[in-house]
């Protein structure tokens, strides 16, 4: 899967990000799902059923 891509993963979305700094670069995979209240939940892995909720910041 190319870096910077998004792919459906069941009821979630798999984001693949290519993160780099002055010392190293690596691929980061993130499972997220939009919630009915407009927030997002990030999941540790596919077996995580709880997730961590994130609210949007006001603009």
Contact 51, 41 (CB under 8 A): yes
Confidence of residue 5 (pLDDT cuts 50, 70, 90): confident
Instruction: Return the ∠ at Cα 6 (arms to 4 and 11), rounded to 5°.
Output: 155
φ, ψ dihedrals at 36, nearest 5°: -55, -30
Write out pLDDT tens, residues 9-37: 999 999 988 877 777 778 888 999 999 99
Confidence of residue 40 (pLDDT cuts 50, 70, 90): very high
pTM: 0.69
CA quadruple 18, 34, 43, 46: dihedral sign? negative
| Sequence spans of domains, the chain | 5-54
How far apart are the C-alpha atoms of 20 and 50, rounded to whole Å?
29
């Amino acid at each position: 899967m190319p870096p910077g891509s998004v792919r459906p993963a069941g009821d979630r979305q798999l984001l693949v990000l290519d993160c780099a700094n002055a010392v190293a670069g690596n691929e980061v995979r993130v499972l997220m799902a939009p919630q009915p209240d407009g927030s997002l939940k990030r999941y540790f892995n596919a077996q995580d059923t709880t997730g961590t909720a994130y609210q949007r910041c006001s603009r």
